[in-house]
Amino acid sequence: MVTHCGNAAFHWGKRTYVMGIINVSPDSFSGDGLDSVSAALEQAKRFVVEGADIIDVGGESTRPGSAPISVDEELRRVVPVLERLAGEIDVPLSVDTYKLDVASQALDAGAQMINDIWGLKKEPKLAELAAEKGVPVILMSNQREKPCRRIIPELIFDLKRSIDIALDAGVHWDNIIIDPGVGFGKTLEQNLEIIRRLDKLKVLGRPVLLGTSRKSMIGLVLDLPAEQRLEGTAASTAIGIAKGADIVRVHDVEEMARVCRMSDAIVRGVKG
C-alpha cells in the first residue's frame, strides 16, 4: 500500500512514519502551544532534522472541555504558519481541523493532508474537498458525544462509516488513513485496550495512525503531568508499532523517531 502526499510517498508496512505536532493554540493540553509563526517554523525545522516525516498543524485545542473557536480565529492561527512552512520545509504538511473553510484555505496555503478528529461526521463535505484536491485524509473515531461499552467493535463500526463517507465522496482508497482516537471519549481501560488490540483494526485494510503522545491515559497510569510523560509515550508507541501502527503522531519527535527505528528493527526487520 502506498499513499502519496505532496512529493512524499508513504509505503505502509515498510517502516513506521513520524508525524510531528505543531500546536498554534494557546490552550494545548500538552503545554506546547506556540504563539508566533517564527516559533512554529523553528519547531517544524527542528522536527524535520529530528526525523519527522510529516508536520501536523492545528489551531484549535482538542483537549477535553476546551471551547471551540471561530473559523476566522482558526484561520488566523494556522494559515500564516502553513504558508511559511510550505516555503521553507520539505516534508508534507497536514492540517488538524474538522471545519470545511479552514481545511479549504489550509490546502490553498500549502497543507497536503486533512486530519479530521470527527472522521467526517461533523462535516461530510470535507470528504468532497479531499476528493477534489486529491489529498489524503485521516479519519478518527471520536466517542466524546456517544460513549460506548465494547470499544473495539465500536471502533471498527465507526471507522467503517467514516471510510464509506470518504469513498462515496470520491476519496481514493489509497488516500484514507484511520485513527482509533486514543483519549477521545474513551475510558482509561478502553484506551489501554485499543493499544493492546490495535491489530484488530487491520480488518479495515487501511494504515493506522496512533496518537498517544503525552495523553491523560499516561498521566493516569503513571500519575505524572503532561511534561513528564515521555517514557509512557515511548512505551505506548512501541507496543502500538508491535500491534500494527503505521504512523505515530507525537510531540517529542527526536525521542519517538528513535523508538520507531528500534521498534521497526524488531517488528519489521528494518534497520536504520
Active-site positions read: 215, 249
CA atoms within 13 A on the CB side of 114: 35
Q: How far is CA 119 from the centre of its chain?
A: 12
Rounded Cα distance, 159 and 87, in Å: 34
- Concatenating the DSSP letter of every residue in the chain gives -EEEETTEEEEBTTB-EEEEEEE--TT-TTS----SHHHHHHHHHHHHHHT-SEEEEE-S--STTPPP--HHHHHHHHHHHHHHHHHH--S-EEEE---HHHHHHHHHHT--EEEETTTTSS-THHHHHHHHHT--EEEE---TTS--SSHHHHHHHHHHHHHHHHHHTT--GGGEEEE--TTSS--HHHHHHHHHTGGGGGGG-S-BEE--TT-HHHHHHHT--GGG-HHHHHHHHHHHHHTT--EEEES-HHHHHHHHHHHHHHHT----
Cβ atoms 8, 91 nearer than 8 A: yes
